[in-house]
């Protein structure tokens, strides 16, 4: 496994692989790798001949009062995980390598970045789009892999790629969960045992939504009310949003019909967690 810390190095490794006709798969991450990330790596290894994992805690996607400084950076453990998963190349640049000067160019995906997390994390998605645009330009992958866990991010990136005619395919992989339903996340390590238990109410609330829709309830304010009751069982949970939206446009739905995305963001202590599920009411 090669580890590149500069753009020059990463480009030369990828160029060599491409000249041998290899299909290049990219898994962009912020590190602190877990089973969610490795599921993307495994998928990339199945589809592609050469797997690149980027590990970069991207400063531009964090707000001023967010956890950029304290975000975990266990690089040695991450490299070991990549090695164990037969990753071909890890790109682990410094912030200066990615942002050598003040960044003046941004990619603004309109509309899709406004609801859900867009309301609570101003500037977050332009940080995500610029870093992905840079990674795609540096690595030139044939395919890039993202998790359904960050549903809005995946939709925004897919749209950026389509609107800018970027020559790669975006694949979105299912959310990996702990046995108790909690979506695996690098931020779960901020949680105490007690908070981890409380956090399972997020998935319970999403499951309630699925159950109600399956049983024929379509009135979204009513469904959201029931979901809220579950989260309120634990007063330490501070709800940011509970939304039921069209899974393509992310617009709020009055009636839960078609391809529906139910999404929650909540804070437990100072840890912000997000989760979602997709429900297709046409599927039986």
37 included as an active-site residue: yes
221-240 positions binding ligand AMP, by CB under 6 A? none
- Contact flag: residue 127 with ligand AMP (CB under 6 A): no
Among 4, 40, 212, 265, interactor with ligand AMP by CB under 6 A: 40
- Closer Cβ to ligand AMP, 83 or 219, answer by number: 83
Query: Which one of 13, 34, 37, 124 is the catalytic residue?
Result: 37
Which of the ranges 34-42, 92-100, 135-143, 263-271 carries the binding residues for ligand AMP, by CB under 6 A?
Answer: 34-42
CB of 172 to ligand AMP, least distance (A): 8
- Contact flag: residue 140 with ligand AMP (CB under 6 A): no
Q: What are the φ/ψ torsions at residue 141 (nearest 5 degrees)? A: -70, 155
Which of the ranges 5-13, 32-40, 206-214, 247-255 carries the binding residues for ligand AMP, by CB under 6 A?
Answer: 32-40
Question: What does the alpha-carbon distance between residue 8 and residue 215 come to, in Å, rounded to a whole number?
Answer: 56
- Contact flag: residue 175 with ligand AMP (CB under 6 A): yes
List residues binding ligand AMP (CB under 6 A). 29-30, 36-37, 39-40, 146-147, 149-150, 173, 175-176, 183-186
Enzyme catalytic residues: 37
């Amino acid at each position: 496994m090669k580890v590149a810390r500069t753009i020059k190095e990463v480009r030369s490794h990828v160029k060599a692989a491409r000249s041998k006709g290899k299909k290049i798969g990219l898994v962009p991450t912020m590190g602190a790798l877990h089973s969610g990330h490795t599921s993307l790596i495994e998928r990339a290894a199945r589809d592609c001949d050469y797997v690149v994992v980027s590990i970069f805690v991207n400063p531009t996607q964090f707000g001023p009062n967010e956890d950029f400084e304290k975000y975990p950076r266990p690089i040695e453990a991450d490299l070991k995980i990549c090695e164990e998963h037969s990753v071909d190349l890890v790109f682990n640049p410094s912030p200066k390598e990615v942002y050598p000067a003040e960044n003046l160019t941004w990619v603004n995906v309109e509309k899709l970045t406004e609801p859900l997390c867009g309301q609570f994390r101003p500037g977050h998605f332009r940080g995500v789009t610029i870093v992905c645009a840079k990674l795609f330009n540096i690595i030139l992958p044939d395919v890039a892999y993202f998790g359904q866990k960050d549903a809005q991010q995946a939709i925004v990136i897919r749209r950026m790629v389509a609107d800018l005619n970027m020559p790669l395919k975006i694949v979105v992989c299912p959310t990996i969960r702990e046995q108790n339903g909690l979506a695996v996340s690098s931020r779960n390590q901020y949680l105490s045992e007690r908070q981890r238990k409380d956090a399972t109410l997020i998935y319970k609330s999403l499951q309630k939504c699925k159950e109600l829709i399956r049983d024929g309830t379509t009135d979204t304010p009513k469904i959201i009310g029931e979901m809220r009751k579950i989260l309120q069982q634990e007063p330490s949970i501070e709800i940011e949003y509970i939304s039921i939206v069209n899974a393509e446009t992310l617009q709020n739905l009055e009636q839960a019909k078609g391809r529906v995305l139910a999404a929650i963001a909540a804070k437990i202590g100072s840890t912000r967690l997000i989760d979602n599920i997709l429900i297709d009411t046409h599927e039986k």
